[in-house]
Amino acid sequence: MERILMSLQYNGAAYQGFQIQHDLKTVQRELERITQRMHQQFVRIHPASRTDKGVHALEQFIHFDSHLTLPEDKWMHAFNSALPNDIVVTRVNKVDDQFHCRYDTIGKMYRYRVYTNPLRDPLKVNLMTHMPYDLNITDMQKAARLFEGTHDFTSFCSAKTEIDRKVRTIYLSKVIETTYGFDFVIVGDGFLYNMVRIIVNFLTDIAQGFREVDDVHKVIEARDRTKAHKTAPSEGLYLERTFYSEDELKHCVAELNTL
């Protein structure tokens, strides 16, 4: 048996998220349909992240075990020929069978893209979130930085979360102005269910004057999920990087800090 690791990108618009859910169209279903056909039997795909409905990925990883002995480029070709246009495999590596693409991640980077034109842009539909109102970017920039560090993020995670330990370390949290509005970028050792989207909603509440910059500390300290439970829409969210190497993570944080 060989363990196959794949890096993939997808447009989440047409999917009910990554994970298999009955008969719904999910990224995992598209992938397992291919492994099933190639192996003539069911082969489970394991992802690094279970992205939600509508969320995009620029660097998601999956692994699976195979008795086939194909070279890496043949794996890539087999998947890319069979996958729909909104999913693509960008790299394939054979890895040690101790490697696990979820348990071995040491960090992730997400980006949330917002455009602020007064009118919606039909060509940004499903790719960015539209916020056609006045936003105080400076306040949002100050507030974003306050998420950095090690905190209990109970207040910033969905009530549906099953895990108990809600402490995460955020290496970078930053709002970057763009030509179309702003990007929120965040790098951390891990993220709770809906955490990035709840943080984005909290930041845009601050930018609209509904909350104070200092509320970030207060709400983190409250450890109460009713304090910040609204979530920004999924369409602006991208899983942009998945890290297995400290060096790559540090390099990414350093680069984002220069922007």
Query: Which residues are tagged catalytic?
Result: 52
| Identified binder of a second copy from the candidate list 1, 41, 81, 123, rule CB under 8 A | 123
Q: How deeply is 99 buried, as exposed, middle or buried, from its count of CB atoms within 10 A (0-12, 13-18, 19+)? A: middle
Tell me whether residue 58 or residue 137 sits nearer to a second copy (CB atom): 58
Tell me whether residue 2 or residue 86 sits nearer to a second copy (CB atom): 86
Number of residues that bind a second copy (CB under 8 A): 17
| Identified binder of a second copy from the candidate list 40, 42, 67, 119, rule CB under 8 A | 119
75 binds a second copy (CB under 8 A): no
110 a known binding residue?
A: yes
72 binds a second copy (CB under 8 A): no
C-alpha distance from residue 210 to each of 136, 140, 146, 183 (Å) = 11, 12, 17, 20
Residue 224 CB, nearest distance to a second copy (Å)? Answer: 34
Task: Dump the DSSP string for 176-205.
Answer: EE-SSEEEEEEEES---TTHHHHHHHHHHH
Residue 110 CB, nearest distance to a second copy (Å)? Answer: 15
82 binds a second copy (CB under 8 A): no
Site for a second copy in 51-70 (CB under 8 A): 56
Site for a second copy in 88-117 (CB under 8 A): 88, 90
3-state secondary structure of 234: helix
178 binds a second copy (CB under 8 A): no
10 binds a second copy (CB under 8 A): yes
Strands of the chain (E only): list them.
2-10, 46-47, 56-66, 87-95, 107-115, 129-130, 149-152, 167-177, 181-188, 237-243
**Pairing of β 87-95 and β 2-10:** antiparallel
- Candidates 96-104, 123-131, 138-146, 212-220; binding stretch for a second copy (CB under 8 A): 123-131
Tell me whether residue 125 or residue 167 sits nearer to a second copy (CB atom): 125
| Identified binder of a second copy from the candidate list 97, 121, 212, 255, rule CB under 8 A | 121
Q: What contacts 211, CB < 8 A, 6 or more positions away?
A: 202, 205
Residue at 175: amino acid letter: V
How many residues would you count in the chain? 259
**CA pair distance 155, 98, nearest whole angstrom:** 35
Binding residues, by number, are 110
Interface residues with a second copy (CB under 8 A)?
Answer: 9-11, 56, 80, 85-88, 90, 119-123, 125, 127
Binding residues for substrate, by number, are 110
